[in-house]
């Protein structure tokens, strides 16, 4: 069974970008946060900070207590995207990239002599050297080499930072036994209890379970895929299709009230509509969500004829917002999601909407925002939050800087 896949995972990516960009942060514990407020959480931590137990999700007030010298840095997503693009270029100078899974994860296919262990290891080292020379020494990565993409990704988590782990057929399954169940992709908070009900509480027991048992636990074909992946077999998956477009934002203190939440949601909705049109989709359902400081949530949802018209979305949003409860609870985060998507060439035009007229309007607005930065032209409902909710990187979504950049000056 040859080494078919090379998977690359950048270590503490946001924090590493900060240290590469700003030398005064190097060698110091760094936490990247969405906004500078003690009530928010860390979204990334440097390895110097991780030594104190600080990680993604650690509340800022707690992180400060653990490490008084912690450098708190507001996230600068534009910088992370620029480094991502440079890293992609560096990797592709060594080997073509099959798929970019997220801002800090990519997968490559090994072919021919590249599949031989010595050559695969040499290639991995070449990638590391190229990144060091062309991008910077603080952008360290862990590389996994394995017979399939699943095991190659698993290998990247087995040695950090700056790791290089090879999993060959002769190593299986013993090399996996030191891992915890939740170290494996596909085994989260819900799946782990289900495995335990079947007496599977270690990776060793998981690897020894039959294909039929895993199919029963997973409730279908995904269990068989897990069985095959753990044995190094190449597993083909059906192509995925986009199902949602949305944005979320943890609000800074001045927006943590009803009017602030409304304005930020309005801005997020307008940004989502721009992305929807850019991807040539229409949406038939929208949801909005507000999370309060005490952990409680309020959510509403509405369906409508498929559209990509921002004005139609705003009308639907206003209907939902009219049900927002009178409460003393402080909103801390908001989210808007457009789903029930259809490609724009597959939906039926509405009798009640002048499609060509609204399309021309939004094309003009989108052009202005693309040329001068998002926020150059917008609908008034988001006016109070026009400088809030800037471009953000989601787990699997890398923003298009040309489309979503908020920095007007940089686009002039």
Q: Which residues pair with 246 in a beta bridge?
A: 337
Give the side-chain half-sphere CA count within 13 A for 258: 9
CB count within 10 Å of CB 5 equals 25
Cα–Cα distance, 404 to 279 (Å, whole number):
13
**What integer is the mean pLDDT of 375-404?**
61
The per-residue pLDDT for range 305-314, each reduced to its tens digit, is: 899 888 899 9
- Helix axis angle, 258-278 relative to 355-372, nearest 10°? 100
Q: How wide is the angle at C-alpha 346 spanned by C-alphas 341 and 347, nearest 5°?
A: 70
pLDDT over 80 (residue 179): yes
Sign of the alpha-carbon dihedral angle for 374, 380, 381, 387 = positive
Q: Are 206 and 231 in contact (CB under 8 A)?
A: no
Asked if residue 71 lies in contact with residue 31, where contact means CB atoms within 8 angstroms, the answer is yes
State the first-to-last Cα distance of the chain, in angstroms, to the nearest integer.
54
Tell me the pLDDT tens digit for each residue of 269-293. 988 998 888 888 999 999 999 999 9
**What is the predicted pLDDT for the residue at 275?**
86
Percent of the chain past pLDDT 90, that is, above it, reads 66
User: What's the confidence (pLDDT) of residue 387?
Assistant: 61
DSSP characters for 2-18?
---EEEEEETTHHHHHH
**What CA–CA distances, in Å, run from 291 to 255, 269, 279?**
13, 17, 28
* 3 compared with 386, residue with greater pLDDT: 3
| Strand segments (E) across 60-187 | 71-74, 99-102, 105-109, 141-146, 164-166
Contact, 290 vs 331, CB < 8 A? Answer: yes
Model confidence pLDDT, tens digit, residues 55-114: 999 999 999 999 999 999 999 988 999 999 999 999 999 999 999 999 999 999 999 999
* 165, β-bridge pairs: 144
d(CA 63, CA 72): 10
pLDDT of 411 reads 39
Position 1 confidence tier, pLDDT thresholds 50, 70, 90: confident
For residue 377, pLDDT beyond 80: no
Q: In what order do the strands lie in the sheet with 99-102?
A: 99-102, 105-109, 5-10, 141-146, 164-166
* Whether 230 contacts 179, CB under 8 Å: no
Query: What is the model's pLDDT at position 412?
Result: 37
Which carries the bigger pLDDT value, residue 203 or residue 252?
203
Indicate if the pLDDT at residue 172 is higher than 70.
yes
333-354 tens-digit pLDDT: 999 999 999 988 776 655 555 5
Burial class (CB in 10 A: 0-12, 13-18, 19+), 179: middle
Q: Which of 4-18, 23-37, 288-302, 353-367 has the lowest mean pLDDT?
A: 353-367
Indicate the SS3 state at residue 306: strand
């Amino acid at each position: 069974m040859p080494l078919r896949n090379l998977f690359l995972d950048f270590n503490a990516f946001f924090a590493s970008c900060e240290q590469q960009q700003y030398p005064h942060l190097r060698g110091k514990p760094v936490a990247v946060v969405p906004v500078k407020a003690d009530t928010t959480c860390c979204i990334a931590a440097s390895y110097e900070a991780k030594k104190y137990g600080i990680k993604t999700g650690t509340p800022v007030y707690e992180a400060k207590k653990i490490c008084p010298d912690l450098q708190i840095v507001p996230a600068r997503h534009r910088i992370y995207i620029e480094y991502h693009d440079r890293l992609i270029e560096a990797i592709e100078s060594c080997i073509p990239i099959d798929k970019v899974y997220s801002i800090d994860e990519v997968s490559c296919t090994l072919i021919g002599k590249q599949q031989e262990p010595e050559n695969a290891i040499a290639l991995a080292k070449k990638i590391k050297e190229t990144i060091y020379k062309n991008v910077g020494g603080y952008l360290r990565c862990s590389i996994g080499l394995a017979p399939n993409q699943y095991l190659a990704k698993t290998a990247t988590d087995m040695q950090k930072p700056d790791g290089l782990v090879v999993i060959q057929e002769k190593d299986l399954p013993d090399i996996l036994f030191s891992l915890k169940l939740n170290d494996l992709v596909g085994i989260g908070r819900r799946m782990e209890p289900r495995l335990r009900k079947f007496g599977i509480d270690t990776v060793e027991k998981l690897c020894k379970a039959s294909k039929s048992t895993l199919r029963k636990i997973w409730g279908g074909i995904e269990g068989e895929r897990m069985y095959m992946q753990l044995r190094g077999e190449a597993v083909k998956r059906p192509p995925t299709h986009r199902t949602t477009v949305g944005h979320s934002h943890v609000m800074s203190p001045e927006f943590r009230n009803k009017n602030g939440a409304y304005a930020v949601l309005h801005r997020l909705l307008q940004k989502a509509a721009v992305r929807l049109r850019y991807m040539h989709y229409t949406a038939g359902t929208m949801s909005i969500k507000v999370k309060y400081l005490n952990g409680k949530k309020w959510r509403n949802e509405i369906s409508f004829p498929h559209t990509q018209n921002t004005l139609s979305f705003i009308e639907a949003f206003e209907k939902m917002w009219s049900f927002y409860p009178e409460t003393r609870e402080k909103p801390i985060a908001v989210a808007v999601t457009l789903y029930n998507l259809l490609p724009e060439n597959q939906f039926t035009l509405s009798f009640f909407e002048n499609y060509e007229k609204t399309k021309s309007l939004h094309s003009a607005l989108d052009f202005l925002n693309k040329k001068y930065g998002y926020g150059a032209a917008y609908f008034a409902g988001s006016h109070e939050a026009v400088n809030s909710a800037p471009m953000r990187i989601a787990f699997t979504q890398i923003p298009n800087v040309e489309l979503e950049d908020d920095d007007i000056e940089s686009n002039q």
